[in-house]
């Protein structure tokens, strides 16, 4: 049976960006670009003729900005929207508005003419659109390119023999969370209710570089815990949540009884950087039975193998249930592989994590 193609509309005021985006998306047989528009007014006219399954939307455009258009879409006729933004810090803060307004994915515009970037960019753009097509979106009030080999965590951190996993000199519990599509909203709900002296938390949310800084700052504003983007060498202490920087891998390590994180370069792992599998493997290795881990909403399988490694090393493992996921991809894979001890609703995740660390 022929698989139905995902119909995509590209909305961006740059003709060059529209051209490159169309080429990237059209390189995948499962995607069909049905329309392009240089601003939301033209986009609405084209949507009246044929409704797309997914919209890729620029932030800054003439006549109507992307955030205003996004709010209009989500309040009237919800369609999964992937927000595209320039890779600059001053634009990163705007993405928080996009997340609040209902964008299911955030990606950076491809750097035109930068050798090598377009390949990684192609993977991320295509995956973002495919994830968005599977996303469950609800109404909100109006207030041919080469695809690289899929690496696993071995390329960043070797899997140690089980006998060498997790030193036992400390009983300090840590929490590890991985998420992708829909994870920005899910993390807001989880961290907003975590007590100020919760065990230290390490988080991987699939997100481009620059944007994780603004997202961490936003989480810090709404959470009783201190939340910040991780820096190389940061100690993981009770009351602190560290978010992996976009474009970097983050691994947990331990020196004596003190946990800390390393922030590393490296290739995409499970098609992502940062990768949940990389972070989870390090948690299995250096925290073992002191770890509590949860894999939340997202497309693909990043984190499923790493979660199993944590379970095998004596840690407690959970995955978000289908009903509360925006995309039941990563948690589903973890459940299929026997990596999660229990599927739990988003609203129950904070208490479950706290109970497991008590």
Catalytic residues: 180, 206, 302
Phi-psi region of 284 (alpha: psi -120 to 50; beta: other; left: phi over 0): alpha
249 to 77, 105, 145, 187, 297: CA distances (angstroms): 37, 19, 25, 19, 19
Q: Are 257 and 283 in contact (CB under 8 A)?
A: no
Strand residue runs (E) in the chain: 6-11, 31-37, 54-58, 81-85, 105-108, 174-179, 200-205, 226-229, 240-243, 249-255, 258-264, 291-295, 316-320, 342-344
Angle at 189 between CA 188 and CA 195, to 5 degrees: 95
120 to 87, 147, 159, 243: CA distances (angstroms): 14, 8, 25, 21
What letters, b where the CB count within 10 A reaches 16 and e where it falls short, cover 36-71? bbbbbeebeebbeeeebbbbbbbbebeeebbbebbb
Backbone φ and ψ for 55, nearest 5 degrees, come out as -120, 130
The first and second tokens of residue 287, run together, are: 């925290």
Q: Is 322 exposed, middle or buried (0-12, 13-18, 19+ CB in 10 A)?
A: middle
Q: What is the largest CA-CA distance in the chain?
A: 65
- Is the C-alpha dihedral spanning 330, 152, 356, 213 positive or negative? negative
Indicate the pairing of strand 81-85 with strand 54-58. parallel
The first and second tokens of residue 274, run together, are: 């940062």
């Amino acid at each position: 049976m022929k698989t139905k193609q995902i119909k995509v509309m590209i909305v961006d005021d740059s003709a060059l960006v529209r051209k490159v985006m169309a080429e990237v998306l059209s390189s995948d047989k499962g995607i069909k670009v049905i329309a392009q528009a240089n601003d939301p007014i033209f986009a609405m006219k084209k949507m009246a003729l044929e409704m797309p399954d997914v919209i890729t939307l620029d932030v800054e455009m003439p006549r109507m900005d992307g955030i205003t258009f996004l709010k209009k879409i989500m309040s009237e006729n919800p369609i999964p929207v992937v927000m595209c933004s320039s890779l600059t810090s001053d634009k990163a803060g705007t993405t928080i508005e996009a997340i609040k307004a209902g964008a299911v994915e955030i990606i950076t515009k491809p750097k035109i003419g930068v050798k090598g970037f377009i390949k990684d960019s192609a993977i991320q753009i295509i995956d973002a659109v495919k994830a968005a097509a599977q996303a469950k979106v609800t109404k909100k009030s109006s207030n041919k390119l080469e695809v690289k080999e899929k690496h696993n965590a071995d390329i960043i951190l070797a899997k140690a023999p089980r006998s060498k996993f997790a030193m036992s000199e400390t009983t300090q519990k840590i929490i590890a969370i991985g998420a992708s599509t829909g994870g920005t909203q899910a993390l807001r709900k989880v961290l907003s209710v975590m007590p100020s002296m919760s065990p230290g938390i390490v988080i991987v949310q699939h997100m481009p570089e620059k944007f994780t800084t603004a997202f961490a700052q936003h989480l810090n504003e709404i959470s009783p815990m201190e939340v910040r983007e991780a820096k190389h060498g940061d100690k993981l202490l009770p009351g602190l949540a560290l978010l992996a920087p976009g474009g970097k891998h983050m691994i947990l390590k331990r020196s004596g009884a003190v946990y800390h994180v390393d922030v590393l370069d490296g290739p995409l792992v499970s098609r992502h950087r940062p990768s949940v599998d990389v972070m989870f493997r390090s948690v299995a290795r250096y925290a073992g039975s002191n770890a509590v881990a949860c894999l939340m909403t997202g497309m693909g399988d990043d984190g499923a193998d790493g979660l199993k490694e944590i379970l095998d090393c004596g840690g407690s493992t959970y995955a978000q249930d289908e009903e509360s996921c925006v995309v039941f991809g990563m948690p589903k894979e973890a459940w299929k592989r026997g990596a999660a001890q229990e599927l739990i609703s988003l609203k129950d995740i904070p208490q479950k994590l706290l109970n497991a660390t008590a």
